[in-house]
Amino acid sequence: MKDTILKTIEAIVTEGASKQVGHLWANDENLDLPQIHIEDEQLTSFVFCDYLGLSQDERLIAGATEMLRRYGTYTAVSRAFLSLNLTRTTEELLARVFRQPVAVLARTSLAHIAVLPVITHIDDAIVLDHQVHASVRNATDMLRSYGNKVEVIRHNRMDQLEERIQKLGEIHPKVWYLADGVYSMYGDTLPAAEIAVLLDRYPKLHLYVDDAHGMSWMGKHGSGYLLEALPRHERVFLVTSLGKGFGSGGAAIVCPDEATKERIIYCGSPYIFTSPAEPPMLGAIQASAHIHLSDELPIRQAALMEKITHFRDYALQLGLPLIKPSYLTPIFFIGVGKTEVGYEVCRRMKAAGYFVSIGIYPAVPVNNTGMRATVTVSHTEAQIKGMLEALANILPEVLHENNSSLEQVYRAFRIKVANNVRKMI
């Protein structure tokens, strides 16, 4: 079974690479997003998750450079033995952003591996959302090997979650629901209001959220979607990325109290067997945290929301099959249906001067291929408009050439056909 899946994935990715829509190289000597160069072609990219444009901000670059000079490139010692005071001051600064104790690691995937085995008990049941990030799934494989009961429910189906809480709660002391705050493929969100009801109704329910794509562009001090939508709760645990919107790299483990933070640092395997976040990364984190705590952040958030709204509204105006358009997040997914349609649309979009990524199996079902576009504060409205108009021209042509149509795409995603789409079919 495993070998069959790997062979299928390898075949799909190999085909995408051969068609020059994936595993590409940007040959820019100096990056100036959203413009990139691929094989000497200048393209406007819609693939970066640098939502607030902070990864190229001079203050973050200066912060990283200063700590690079002061502490070097790397701290080659386990945190179990010794930590730089720079790590402590960084975590104290992040605690002001989240209003809770924070532990830092170099990568979000490492954070899940550090946290989940420590905060869960072997008798706890684990319920995964079907679309939770792969890094969370990988960490739960460890829990399964320890003997935890691990199940998967359909995406955002709170009725299924409630049924599993009731059944699993009969024999397990805790039922953990593992989910994303903002989902990385379609840009939809955790149904926080419904989760809040379940948390009140079922004391055995515990929530664990990866809010990597909700960070910075939303919430007070940019603390993210989850903390904005679901106020602090003793049975909610948050891990988030300090890359993407935050712009620095690294991960923040947001702990309910200092005792939990200490236990994770003392017992989490990446804290024992992996070197800590590098000094340049910590310098960039501190610089970004100061921006997050300033009056500048709400201005950046508002500017991005204007562009998100413009993208959503214009895509619908053009009749594009935008999946889950009611969610105003920086991630958009335009359905195309067949995988071969997605490859050809990507190729023609590149020829038109735009680089968008393709969402294909196994990230989505085989016939639910789509164009995934991310919007950042660095995009202009003209760039957004130009990309969407190019896609609106290219997609119907490619669908027709592959004996498909916009109507069939809507059916594949089980969504209603908008009136303006009917006119185009």
The Cα-based distances of 22 to 12, 48, 49, 89 in angstroms read 11, 14, 16, 40
Tell me the angle at which helices 339-351 and 381-401 cross, rounded to the nearest 10 degrees: 130
pLDDT of residue 425: 44
pLDDT tens by residue, 157-170: 999 999 999 999 99
User: Where do the domains of the chain lie, and which CATH numbers do they carry?
Assistant: 2-55+296-424 (3.90.1150.10), 72-292 (3.40.640.10)
Tell me the chain's radius of gyration from C-alpha atoms.
22
Decide if 297 contacts 103 (C-beta within 8 A): no
pLDDT tens by residue, 201-237: 999 999 999 999 999 999 999 999 999 999 888 899 9
Q: What is the rounded average pLDDT for all residues in the chain?
A: 94
pLDDT tens by residue, 11-68: 888 888 888 888 889 988 888 999 999 988 999 999 999 999 999 999 999 999 999 9
Q: What is the pTM of this model?
A: 0.94
Tell me the angle at which helices 296-317 and 381-401 cross, rounded to the nearest 10 degrees: 30
Decide if 149 contacts 168 (C-beta within 8 A): yes
Amino acid at 259: A
The Cα-based distances of 82 to 20, 42, 87, 111, 284 in angstroms read 46, 46, 11, 19, 21
Task: Spell out, as residue ranges, where the chain has pLDDT lower than 50.
Answer: 420, 422-425
